[in-house]
Amino acid sequence: MTVGARPARPAPWPGIPPDVTGVTWRGTLDDDEAVRRLDEAVAAVDAPDVVFALSRYGRRTVRTGGTAPAPPVPRDQLRYEMGSASKTFTGLLLAHLTQTGLLSAGEPAAALLDPARRPGEDPVTLAHLITHTAGLPALPADFYVRGLPAWRTNPYARYPAERVVDAFLRHRQRHRPGTRWHYSNFGVAVLGHALTAATATPWDELLTGQVLDPLRLSGATLAPGGPDTDATGHRRDGTTPVPPLIVGGFQAAGAVRATPDDLLTFLEAHVDPSGRPLTGALRAVRRPVLRRGLGHHHVHTVAWFQHPTECGPMYFHGGATLGQQAFLGFRPDIGTALAAVCTRRFRAGDAFVPTAYTLLAEM
């Protein structure tokens, strides 16, 4: 879907069918060179805990480090907060539910959340929500007032699910859905509640049963654990710990926590979906469905950003919470996936995302 063009309905995904034939290894990076590059990436990130995990056709290399003493549990065995990178799990869930015929991504979200409501001429659909073209702001208008007392700790915890849904149903559109792109945690949170309503299944059960369990992501979860399982985030100073993230009604937009091992498993399924559970959905989320910006150079799939490289497209998504950052990316044409995490809040000039992005792009 090109932003600015009226989206077709009821087709669930506007866009061009992808070429998702088998991948062929083209890389020449040997194991020693992979270790060296990963160690350089770890050293470039100024954070208490840093993990870079690389998979090349299923062959994994994981390197860790950080400015803090090593925790009792090895860094690569802890769970990390994905923040907005959780949206890639939500996008896969939506693709799976449409692939199975349970629902269409062209369905109006408001009709699922309030069956008595009559949809307008241009309703916000599930596809609009996952592609950030629903015309919603980044957060509900009253989020800031409600979250302010806990702004440095857990502002999302003060905004429960019912408020997210109510804010969406009361929202007045300024632009027709599908005409503009604006990144929105609000929109993806609403999508999660719409899917919950459509399936009559709580979000944690829905995502776990349809995505996490089938892909065997045994170390992934949607709720915080303790110091034996979860990494501790830190403020911008890199020393002050912050409490685990509580997402309130924004589960679909940022609740996933996972170990580096599970993140690689998740990404490897995207690199080569053949013969895996959710094969059709894994292929579907690689489709370009939206182009935006000058010359339409910015390409988006279902929940992934897509950039070109010499060997084919690169898919990636970042995430940040009050004390952690994450980067997920994969390149099917060279059988490569990268998961990177660190435990320091994003700050101006932060090297984490540029380092992870460059490492994957230059493989």
* Gap between the Cα atoms of 188 and 109, Å rounded: 11
As a whole number of Å, the end-to-end CA separation of the chain is 30
Report the 10 Å Cβ neighbour count for 232: 17
- Could you tell me where the beta strands, DSSP code E, fall in 104-259? 257-258
Identify the burial level of 27 via C-beta atoms within 10 angstroms of its C-beta, where 0-12 means exposed, 13-18 middle and 19 or more buried: middle
135 phi-psi bin (left φ>0, alpha ψ -120 to 50, beta other) = left
**3-state secondary structure at position 137:** coil
Q: Which pLDDT score, from 0 to 100, does residue 237 have?
A: 96
Q: Which pLDDT score, from 0 to 100, does residue 18 have?
A: 32
Q: Which pLDDT score, from 0 to 100, does residue 315 have?
A: 97
Q: Which pLDDT score, from 0 to 100, does residue 164 have?
A: 98
Q: pLDDT of 12-24, one tens digit each? A: 332 223 333 333 3
Query: Count of residues for the chain?
Result: 363
Taking each helix axis from N to C end, the angle separating 185-199 and 161-170, rounded to the nearest 10 degrees, works out to 100
Q: Which residues of the chain have pLDDT under 50?
A: 1-26
Q: Is the dihedral of CA 254, 293, 306, 38 positive or negative?
A: negative
**3-state secondary structure at position 149:** helix
Which of 193, 225, 186 lies closest to 207, judged by CA?
A: 193
Burial profile 205-226: b = 16 or more Cβ within 10 angstroms, e = fewer: ebbbebbbeebebebbbbebee
Structural contact between residues 354 and 46, judged by C-beta atoms closer than 8 angstroms: no
Q: What one-character DSSP code corresponds to residue 132?
A: T
* Gap between the Cα atoms of 235 and 323, Å rounded: 5
**3-state secondary structure at position 52:** strand
Which of 137, 176, 180, 132 lies closest to 302, judged by CA?
A: 132
Q: Which pLDDT score, from 0 to 100, does residue 28 have?
A: 55
> Which residues are registered as beta bridge partners of 59?
56
H or E segment and range at residue 222: none
Q: Which residues contact 359 (CB under 8 A, 6 or more apart)?
A: 37, 38, 41, 52, 338, 340
pTM for the full predicted model: 0.91
Q: Which pLDDT score, from 0 to 100, does residue 117 have?
A: 83
* Gap between the Cα atoms of 238 and 289, Å rounded: 38
Structural contact between residues 207 and 217, judged by C-beta atoms closer than 8 angstroms: no
Torsion of CA 38, 353, 252, 227, to 10 degrees: 60
Q: Which pLDDT score, from 0 to 100, does residue 74 have?
A: 97
Which of 209, 208, 301, 256 lies closest to 83, judged by CA?
A: 256
